[in-house]
Amino acid sequence: MKLSDRLKSGTKVYSFEFYPPKTAEDTAKLFNTALELKALSPDFVSVTNSSSGVTPYRTVALCGVLKAQFGLEIVAHLTCLAHTRTEIAEICSGLKKMDINNVLALRGDPHNVEAGARRSEYSYAAQLVADLKRDGGFSIGGACYPEKHPEAPSLEADIVRLKEKVDAGAEYLITQLFFDNACYFKFLDKAAAAGVRVPVLPGLMPITGYKQMQNFTKMMQVGVPDELRRGIERWDGDKDGMFKFSVEYASRQARALLAGGAPGLHLYTLNRSKAAMAILKNVKTAI
């Protein structure tokens, strides 16, 4: 399945995101999560790739296992800052051998690139998108930021960069997580006005604690609406209460996004299944 074709069908698309585990224990937990989430029939799962340059083959291997042993459709993340074009070609060859034909093309975070690992061949995701397009065989996606990339001077400037990715061949976009739907719909309007007219899957994640909320606000520069902030503060320290509140908030957010025309939902799982399952079940029950 090519995700671009699936999105063109007009049917809502539901997906989950995983990251490569580092230990045998974490691997077992992830595979259990994958089994549980497979029962919800996701259209695909994505697998992240660190920009450090040391883990791309872990990503490729995990993609292969999730596809071959679990029967899941895969979108493989591919970062480029720490790779040469030759290395990117090798990684893509490995994905194709596993019959994985969906890639999310990313620049990667400079602060995650180990000293001496950064190469000079790539500076922007649009360059990677262009190479993947020339190589052929992949449905290519890109990332976008409803509240702008933290490095961008403005949302408008960020959208200029985004259009470069789409013009280079990105066929769909997946957003950074956000908690205020108004940001998503405002972003869609601005992007469309700038000529960005590809499907944009909203990315959602329930907040599990006050510290996590602070991290999102500081590191990712993601806004936290007052209602959500008050709820997190109220239930901080109460694990069950926090879970229930966060799932209910994310479920309402998800239903409103779909009602407003979003092409589907992309749920950031942190390799756990409970919250993602609850949210998607709530959403599908309401449809």
Q: How far is it, in rounded angstroms, from Cα 31 to Cα 40?
A: 15
- Which tokens is 232 given? 């997190």
**Residue 70, pLDDT score:** 96
In order of 39, 80, 276, the CA distances from 247 in angstroms are: 19, 34, 8
In order of 270, 280, 284, the CA distances from 287 in angstroms are: 26, 11, 5
Q: How far is it, in rounded angstroms, from Cα 128 to Cα 41?
A: 30
In order of 12, 103, 138, the CA distances from 43 in angstroms are: 9, 14, 17
CB 74 within 8 A of CB 67: yes
Helices (H) and strands (E) in the chain, counts: 11, 8
51 Cβ partners below 8 Å, 6+ apart? Answer: 79, 81, 82, 106, 107, 108, 109, 110, 112, 113
Q: What is the CATH number of the domain that holds 107?
A: 3.20.20.220
Domain hosting residue 223, numbered range: 3-286
Average pLDDT per consecutive 10 residues, the chain (287 residues; last block may be shorter):
91 95 93 95 92 69 95 95 89 94 90 56 94 94 96 96 98 96 98 97 89 79 92 92 95 97 96 93 84
Chain-centroid distance, C-alpha 95: 18
Positions marked active-site: 17
- Compute the C-alpha angle 215/170/277, nearest 5°: 50
CB 153 within 8 A of CB 83: no
**Residue 97, pLDDT score:** 94
**Residue 49, pLDDT score:** 87
Nearest to 200 by CA among 216, 186, 217: 186
Total domain count, the chain: 1
- Compute the C-alpha angle 187/192/198, nearest 5°: 95
**Residue 214, pLDDT score:** 80
